[in-house]
Amino acid sequence: MYTLAGIAIEAVSVKSWEENVQERIFKPLVMNSSGFTGLSVRPDNHSLSYFEAETSGKLTARTFLAQLELIAPAGNIYSNMTDMSKWLIMQVNGGKYKGKQVIAATAVEETKIPNSISDKRGRYDELSNAIYAMGRSLQTYKGTKIISHTGSIDGFYSNLSYLPKDSLALFIVHNSVSAGSLLSVMNLPLIDILQNRELTDWSSRYRKDYLEDQEKNKKTVDEINALQVKNTVPSHLSLAYTGRFNHPVYGDILIGLTNNDLQIQYRSLRATLHHWHYDQFITMDDGKGFPDMRISFLTNDKGEIDRISTRPFEDPLTEFVRMK
């Protein structure tokens, strides 16, 4: 959705999405510390995301490569708290910043018009069912209307909220993958405090969910491990598995050989492939925070390896074709 919006902006303005953001938002709001990942010079003083390594159980920093320029409108901006506060001030003031109309008030109001129900069930009595507008969710929390937008990318989780009746705005971001589920409620304790209300322990509620999910994940891993067929060997010599395998959407997966160990390179992932059974190989947690991948090598009628099958980014099963 956001990518398509960016493409439409470029078509109408005959300028890049980045140029439009720079000229129409960054410049008038004096957001001098904000830029675009992969296109701007990243500040030396920048935060990292952290994940909980399976092998050690410790929080470990993880560095991500730049997002694709194609999906820039969906999450390629970096910023800081000072700049984001200027964006929020403009939102609370109906598109104005320091007396200047940066975005038309009618355009700001248009983004608040509900289009669909995003939370049909509703889980907690304190929160109404969320309805989705133009890139924003609207709901009430203990009777107070909240307009918010959450986001997650590269191990960072954010919640941008404002209370229109109170001229109050919040921007919260955290960088721990294990606490990712908190992004939709991490604003609520602050709203309780600012509204002088009884504090609801959202952290304990979501920690319970987290521990249950951990147990489910462990059970799933145990079930997968039970399916391994022991004492099998690959059908080909190691060199036969190497090469470049392509998918028109997901791009290239490179399989190489180092000291007789198969190595996979896919975007920012570089890892050893461990034999699982038959012609299936897996990556294993090496303290870098990438999800484990299972690679199945497939053959043509001649018995030659010509494809691999995997779930990129845990997406549906996809085949990559060997390139000659």
176, 194, 227 - which closes a domain: 227
Distance of CA 53 to the CA centre of its chain: 18
Are residue 67 and residue 128 in the same domain, yes or no?
A: no
Are residue 222 and residue 255 in the same domain, yes or no?
A: no
Number of domains in the chain: 3
Query: Which of the residues in the chain have pLDDT under 70?
Result: 40, 54-55, 63-70, 285-291
Task: Look at residue 40 in the predicted model and tell me its pLDDT.
Answer: 67
Are residue 212 and residue 143 in the same domain, yes or no?
A: yes
Are residue 67 and residue 147 in the same domain, yes or no?
A: no
User: Tokens 């004096």 label which residue?
Assistant: 30
Task: Look at residue 1 in the predicted model and tell me its pLDDT.
Answer: 77
Task: Look at residue 54 in the predicted model and tell me its pLDDT.
Answer: 67
Q: Residue 106 domain-assigned?
A: no
Q: Residue 134 domain-assigned?
A: yes
- Strands 116-117 and 131-132, how do they pair? antiparallel
- With vertex at residue 254, the alpha carbon angle to CA 234 and CA 302, rounded to the nearest 5 degrees, is 45
Q: Residue 29 domain-assigned?
A: yes
Largest CA distance in the chain: 73
- Residue 262 CB-density burial (10 A; 0-12 exposed, 13-18 middle, 19+ buried): buried
Judge whether 65 and 268 are in contact, CB under 8 Å.
yes
Task: Look at residue 105 in the predicted model and tell me its pLDDT.
Answer: 95
CATH code where residue 254 lies: 2.40.128.50
User: Tokens 């910043």 label which residue?
Assistant: 97
Task: Look at residue 285 in the predicted model and tell me its pLDDT.
Answer: 65
- Strands 116-117 and 100-101, how do they pair? unpaired
- Tell me phi and psi for residue 181, to 5 degrees: -70, -15
Are residue 121 and residue 210 in the same domain, yes or no?
A: yes
199, 227, 255 - which closes a domain: 227
User: Tokens 């248009």 label which residue?
Assistant: 110
Domain residue limits at 203: 111-227
What pTM was estimated for this model as a whole?
Answer: 0.75
Q: Residue 131 domain-assigned?
A: yes
Judge whether 49 and 175 are in contact, CB under 8 Å.
yes
Are residue 136 and residue 78 in the same domain, yes or no?
A: no
Are residue 208 and residue 248 in the same domain, yes or no?
A: no
Task: Look at residue 180 in the predicted model and tell me its pLDDT.
Answer: 76
| 255-303: pLDDT as tens digits | 999 998 999 998 877 889 999 999 999 988 665 556 678 999 999 999 9
Are residue 186 and residue 165 in the same domain, yes or no?
A: yes
Question: Using CA atoms, how far apart are residues 266 and 268, in angstroms rounded to an integer?
Answer: 6
Question: Using CA atoms, how far apart are residues 1 and 143, in angstroms rounded to an integer?
Answer: 30
Q: Residue 97 domain-assigned?
A: no
Are residue 133 and residue 212 in the same domain, yes or no?
A: yes
Pull the structure tokens for residue 216: 């489910």
Pull the structure tokens for residue 39: 């296109």
- With vertex at residue 63, the alpha carbon angle to CA 60 and CA 68, rounded to the nearest 5 degrees, is 145
User: How many angstroms separate the first and last alpha carbons of the chain?
Assistant: 35
Q: Residue 102 domain-assigned?
A: no
Task: Look at residue 224 in the predicted model and tell me its pLDDT.
Answer: 84
Q: Residue 89 domain-assigned?
A: no
Are residue 13 and residue 68 in the same domain, yes or no?
A: yes
Sign of CA pseudo-dihedral 300, 304, 306, 312: positive
Are residue 197 and residue 297 in the same domain, yes or no?
A: no
| 26-73: pLDDT as tens digits | 999 999 999 987 776 777 888 888 877 766 777 888 766 545 566 778
84, 119, 152 - which closes a domain: 84
Are residue 133 and residue 178 in the same domain, yes or no?
A: yes
Q: Which helix (H) or strand (E) holds 191?
A: helix 188-194
Q: Residue 98 domain-assigned?
A: no
CA distances from 132 to 7, 37, 118, 308 (A): 22, 28, 6, 39
